[in-house]
């Protein structure tokens, strides 16, 4: 009978899963919650440092200059998200069950597959982004100097090895180490931006700072992940054989392509919005919209970090056929994320103007309504983070692809008209519609998923 898996568990636990002090103590004692705590601590520190960094850049460049910086950064990030392979998804999906020594050869082959995907995707992202920069001169009326700076920034895409690094961090459970690397990278960028601010540097300096620190951050992540592999003796990836990869990991390419396509569709709506505002409105509006987005990423990062912890666990539970524990982890995570998102939205209603004045100066106070609506949209999307991880862990990447396709179509069908009608706020309203379709679609997909797919997911 449909709905007897996760839905049945929801009904059985709705009355009993009260967050009493004893249950909170039990929950906080679990390894997953400690891992989330490490990641959130690192994320909070990183976001705080990033807000100071963005604030200094915004104060130095002003709304117009920061708008130009935002367009350059967004174009590069959009190409990275859309064209580079997010290899961490198949690596975690198939690597979570390769803990035993007899699977060492398969584990190294899988990681080599992910490394090659990262290298190829980074090269493709750089090539396409460079071509789009040249075309963007006409769309966004960028001068020749800005185009050259944008081309210089796109070189950083060649160093994107974050897919395999993310997979290694999550598979080895080194969440405290991830938090430390994040903070160090953020501090290095802040120091560079502070020096540029003190020297009254212009747009060129800030673009180059972002390019260099982004490349260094990616290399630092990869170096740390490689060190983790060396500790376990699994670092000889180039010697690993890719022969028979499809037979050893049935459905690997189908899962990799499907999950990557769904993430690319998601990223298109999340990254192209600033470019859309800059094109249909103006660079100043793009700057206001972008800084509101950067602050709202505080909430977005929490959803990503929580998902990064539960996804490997859900994959292992699905492979082991432990349906009751699988549902328990899913329900706990959904409740925590929904409560956090609601609290952040209420906080934005009260504190958005003050936060923007402190972070970026009075010139960006007009972005307060943008920030509030953007946090509402982000709260909707992070509420579905655990459901997305659950569907991927069960091998239902096609369901995720259908949902993200519907949500992305909703965004693109509404955003251009809304931006032309009400300016930058239109993009935020389109994101709220995106989040609504996303959350509803994931919930419906989970309810329709047959319970017997647990256990079978490992060989799907």
Task: Name the residue among 342, 350, 441, 339 with its Cα closest to residue 399.
Answer: 441
* Tokens 């990423």 found at: 297
Judge contact between 313 and 452, C-beta under 8 A: no
Task: Name the residue among 269, 405, 299, 217 with its Cα closest to residue 44.
Answer: 299
Number of alpha carbons in the 13 Å side-chain half-sphere of residue 40? 16
Q: Which residues of 114-140 are buried (b: 16+ CB within 10 A; e: fewer)?
A: bbebbbebbebbbebbbebbeebeeeb
Domain-wise residue ranges, the chain: 6-459
**Phi-psi bin for 423: left (phi > 0), alpha (psi -120 to 50), beta?**
left
* Tokens 């050893």 found at: 248
Q: Which residues of 421-432 are buried (b: 16+ CB within 10 A; e: fewer)?
A: eebbbbbbbbbb
Q: How far apart are CA 393 and CA 405, in angstroms?
A: 19
pLDDT of 108-133, one tens digit each? 888 888 888 888 888 888 888 888 88
CB atoms within 10 A of CB 234: 17
Q: How far apart are CA 296 and CA 293, in angstroms?
A: 5
* Tokens 């190829």 found at: 120
Predicted confidence pLDDT, tens digits, the chain (460 residues): 444 444 444 444 444 344 444 444 444 445 555 666 556 666 667 777 877 888 888 888 887 787 778 778 877 877 777 777 777 778 877 777 676 666 777 888 888 888 888 888 888 888 888 888 888 777 656 677 778 888 888 999 898 888 888 888 877 777 677 778 888 888 999 999 999 999 988 888 999 999 999 999 889 988 888 888 888 766 677 777 777 777 788 777 777 777 677 777 777 777 777 777 777 666 666 767 777 777 777 677 777 767 767 777 777 777 777 777 777 878 877 877 787 778 778 877 777 777 777 666 666 666 778 888 888 888 888 888 888 888 877 777 788 888 888 998 999 899 888 888 888 788 889 989 998 998 899 888 888 877 654 444 444 4
């Amino acid at each position: 009978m449909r709905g007897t898996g996760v839905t049945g568990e929801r009904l059985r636990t709705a009355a009993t899963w009260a967050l009493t002090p004893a249950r909170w103590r039990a929950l906080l004692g679990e390894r997953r919650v400690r891992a989330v705590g490490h990641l959130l601590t690192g994320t909070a520190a990183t976001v705080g440092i990033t807000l100071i960094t963005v604030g200094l850049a915004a104060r130095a460049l002003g709304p117009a200059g920061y708008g130009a910086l935002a367009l350059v950064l967004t174009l590069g990030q959009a190409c990275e998200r859309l064209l580079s392979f997010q290899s961490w998804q198949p690596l975690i999906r198939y690597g979570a069950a390769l803990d035993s020594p007899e699977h060492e050869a398969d584990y190294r082959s899988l990681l080599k597959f992910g490394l090659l995907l990262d290298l190829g995707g980074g090269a493709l992202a750089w090539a396409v982004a460079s071509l789009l920069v040249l075309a963007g001169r006409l769309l966004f009326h960028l001068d020749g100097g800005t185009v050259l700076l944008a081309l210089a920034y796109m070189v950083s895409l060649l160093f994107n090895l974050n897919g395999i690094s993310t997979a290694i961090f999550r598979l080895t459970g080194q969440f405290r180490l991830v938090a430390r690397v994040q903070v160090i990278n953020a501090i290095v960028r802040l120091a560079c931006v502070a020096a540029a601010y003190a020297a009254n540097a212009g747009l060129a300096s800030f673009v180059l700072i972002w390019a260099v620190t982004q490349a260094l951050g990616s290399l630092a992540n990869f170096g740390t992940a490689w060190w983790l592999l060396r500790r376990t003796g699994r670092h000889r990836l180039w010697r690993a054989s890719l022969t028979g990869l499809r037979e050893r990991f049935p459905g690997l390419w189908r899962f990799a392509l499907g999950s990557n396509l769904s993430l690319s569709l998601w990223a298109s709506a999340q990254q192209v919005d600033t470019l859309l505002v800059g094109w249909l409105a103006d660079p100043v509006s793009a700057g206001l919209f972008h800084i509101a987005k950067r602050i709202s990423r505080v909430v977005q990062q929490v959803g990503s970090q929580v998902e990064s912890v539960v996804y490997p666990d859900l994959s292992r539970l699905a492979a082991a056929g432990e349906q009751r524990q699988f549902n328990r982890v899913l329900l706990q995570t959904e409740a925590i994320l929904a409560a956090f998102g609601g609290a952040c939205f209420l906080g934005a209603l009260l504190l958005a103007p003050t936060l923007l004045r402190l972070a970026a100066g009075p010139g960006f106070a007009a972005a307060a309504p943008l920030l509030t609506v953007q946090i509402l949209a982000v709260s909707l999307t992070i509420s579905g983070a655990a459901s997305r991880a659950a569907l991927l862990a069960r091998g239902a990447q096609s369901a995720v692809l259908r949902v993200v396709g519907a949500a992305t179509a909703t965004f693109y069908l509404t955003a251009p008209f809304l931006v032309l009608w009400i300016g930058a706020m239109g993009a935020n309203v389109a994101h709220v519609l995106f989040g609504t379709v996303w959350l509803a679609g994931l919930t419906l997909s989970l309810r329709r998923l047959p319970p017997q797919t647990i256990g079978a997911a490992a060989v799907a």
